[in-house]
Copies of this chain bind each other. A is one copy, B any other.
Amino acid sequence: MKYSALLTDLYELTMMQGYYLLGNNPQVSFDMFFRRNPFSGGYSIFAGLGDLIDTLEHFSFDQEAIDYLDSLGIFKKDFLDYLSNFHFSGNLYAMDEGTVIFPGEPIVRVEANLIEAQLIESILLNILNFQTLIATKTARVYNASRGGLILEFGLRRAQGWDGAVSASRAAYIGGAAATSNTLAGKLFNIPVKGTMAHSWVMAFPNELESFRSFAEIYPDNAILLIDTYDALGSGIENAVIVGKEMKKKGKSIGVRLDSGDLSYLSQKVRKRLDKEGLEDCTITVSNDLTEEIIHQLMSDGAPIDSWGVGTHLVTGGSEASLAGVYKLGAKEVDGKMVPTIKLSNNAEKTTNPGIKQVWRFFDADNMAIADLIALEEEQIAPGKAYRFYHPMYENAHFILDSYDTIKPLLKKKIEKGKVIAPKEGLPEIQQRVKDGLSKFDRTYKRIINPHIYKVSLTSALKKLKLHMIEESEEWTPENGK
């Protein structure tokens, strides 16, 4: 199902048929980018690329799909024949999955004929928008916990089963240590973890028996949920009894708190455990956690070892979508690629024209200074001073001559339909996120009101953009443009 090319908006298909019938099928270059970091944050984490590449490799129409399209009565036989042989044969450039990314810069560039580039728009945005949102959210949660153990517990509140499975993948990339979603564990080889539910405790004659039974069956992973009846009363006391019994067998237990004031309770519980010699007993917390709540708990000095994060991690919580877009940057005219621009009264929505590359500049300590969007044909080389132009404000710019290294971020991943990028494992991508973030000053990673990282245009790109804006005369009844 995931590979069915029917996973597209109908208008892509009607537009494609239009191009097909009119013979209007030039080579084009589309950019995928977004205009604002989610969660009022200072950065985003690019995720979903592995799934996108896998999907593009298999995206096609089977006979059932063709029959369905035929039944709609709006597609011609010729075009349906074309679709039944469809496969993506273009180039895909993308940043490496797990790259730290910023608003305005092309994350992905598709070079293909117009028909193919159009068909893949919806699924490309669907995959990248969602996984980037969730990887970003998780990186924020991970940072707020100061590198704590993040357990993704979101299946029951996720948006459909793939909303859950894809979120598990992206959350792991963003820094989660494990998921509760067993299918995601199998599909992506992510560690799976879990504790117990209140219903376990209620399924026994009393709490002590429920704890003891669990610890006997799972001596190496007994995390006891202590708040079914009274966390600081029966809960912690019964956990202490079982903790001591297990200690005699050389095993450590853990406790979980799922309600109440987690800072107050965790401190009381820690004290009680330590007093009984159960310093090894870990404390896990859950209950609608967000990065803001975790940040606050850490600032309080709450002695929490691991964090079960569900709803907000897998849906984005108050921000449920990344508004990534896919815009035409260039098209073939008379055998030559020429830049295109989408104008808007809203300067933020006017696109950057042309076929572009993104360069990241680093200082001598290997810390990122700023990103520069250049035209592909520009030779950006270290050692030279560059002017960094603000993407919207006219004439606002600065000159960077003191830097150490530069790196191009967009790399060819698919060439003429053939995947050339090596398949990456998720641990590798997770590590890239951690390494990548370590190269940004902590002010960019602040949970609230972060420092804004600069993404600028080269002088050549800024000139091209201004030129194209000026050139697009106002429409008048006379020119009938």
Could you tell me which A residues sit within 8 Å of B by CB distance? 1-2, 4, 6-15, 17-19, 21-22, 24, 26, 28, 30, 64-65, 68-69, 72, 74, 114, 118, 121-123, 125-127, 129-130, 153, 155-167, 180-183, 185-186, 192-200, 202-204, 206-208, 213-214, 217-218, 221, 228-230, 233-234, 237, 259-260, 311, 315-323, 327-328, 331, 340, 342-346, 349, 472, 474-477, 480-481
> A202 touches which one: B123, B202, B328 (CB < 8 A)?
B328
B14 near A218 with CB under 8 A, answer yes
Asked, given contacts A160-B166, A203-B19, whether A192 binds B259 with beta carbons under 8 Å apart, the answer is no
Closest residue of chain B to A345, judged by CB?
Answer: B260
User: Smallest Cβ distance from A230 to chain B, in angstroms?
Assistant: 6
A233 near B475 with CB under 8 A, answer yes
> A7 touches which one: B167, B183, B194 (CB < 8 A)?
B183
B157 near A167 with CB under 8 A, answer no
Closest residue of chain B to A331, judged by CB?
Answer: B203
B129 near A157 with CB under 8 A, answer yes
Contacts of A11 on B, CB cut-off 8 Å? 180, 194-197
Asked, given contacts A192-B10, A214-B18, whether A159 binds B320 with beta carbons under 8 Å apart, the answer is yes
A181 near B9 with CB under 8 A, answer yes
B315 near A230 with CB under 8 A, answer no
Give the CA-CA distance A206 to B481 in the complex, in Å: 6
Give the CA-CA distance A351 to B162 in the complex, in Å: 31
Contacts of A180 on B, CB cut-off 8 Å? 9-11
User: Smallest Cβ distance from A466 to chain B, in angstroms?
Assistant: 18
Contacts of A28 on B, CB cut-off 8 Å? 203
Contacts of A237 on B, CB cut-off 8 Å? 475, 477
Among A157, A182, A186, A323: residue with most chain B CB under 10 A: A182
User: Smallest Cβ distance from A40 to chain B, in angstroms?
Assistant: 14
B155 near A159 with CB under 8 A, answer no
B74 near A2 with CB under 8 A, answer no
Contacts of A472 on B, CB cut-off 8 Å? 229
B321 near A8 with CB under 8 A, answer no
A122 near B65 with CB under 8 A, answer no
**Can you list 18 residue pairs at the A/B interface with Cβ under 8 Å?**
A2-B161, A8-B182, A9-B153, A9-B182, A10-B185, A11-B180, A19-B203, A21-B217, A64-B186, A74-B218, A74-B221, A126-B158, A127-B160, A157-B323, A203-B331, A237-B477, A259-B346, A311-B321
Taken together, the copies of this chain in the complex come to 2
> A259 touches which one: B126, B166, B344, B477 (CB < 8 A)?
B344
User: Smallest Cβ distance from A411 to chain B, in angstroms?
Assistant: 24
A8 near B202 with CB under 8 A, answer no
Asked, given contacts A7-B182, A340-B202, whether A160 binds B195 with beta carbons under 8 Å apart, the answer is no
Among A11, A24, A213, A346: residue with most chain B CB under 10 A: A11
> A161 touches which one: B7, B30, B157, B316 (CB < 8 A)?
B7
> A6 touches which one: B65, B74, B182, B476 (CB < 8 A)?
B182
Contacts of A228 on B, CB cut-off 8 Å? 342
Give the CA-CA distance A180 to B342 in the complex, in Å: 23
B160 near A165 with CB under 8 A, answer yes
Q: With contacts A126-B157, A202-B331 known, what are 17 further pairs, Cβ within 8 A?
A: A6-B185, A22-B213, A24-B204, A122-B155, A125-B157, A126-B160, A126-B164, A127-B160, A130-B159, A157-B321, A160-B166, A202-B340, A259-B344, A311-B323, A315-B321, A318-B320, A320-B320
A126 near B162 with CB under 8 A, answer no
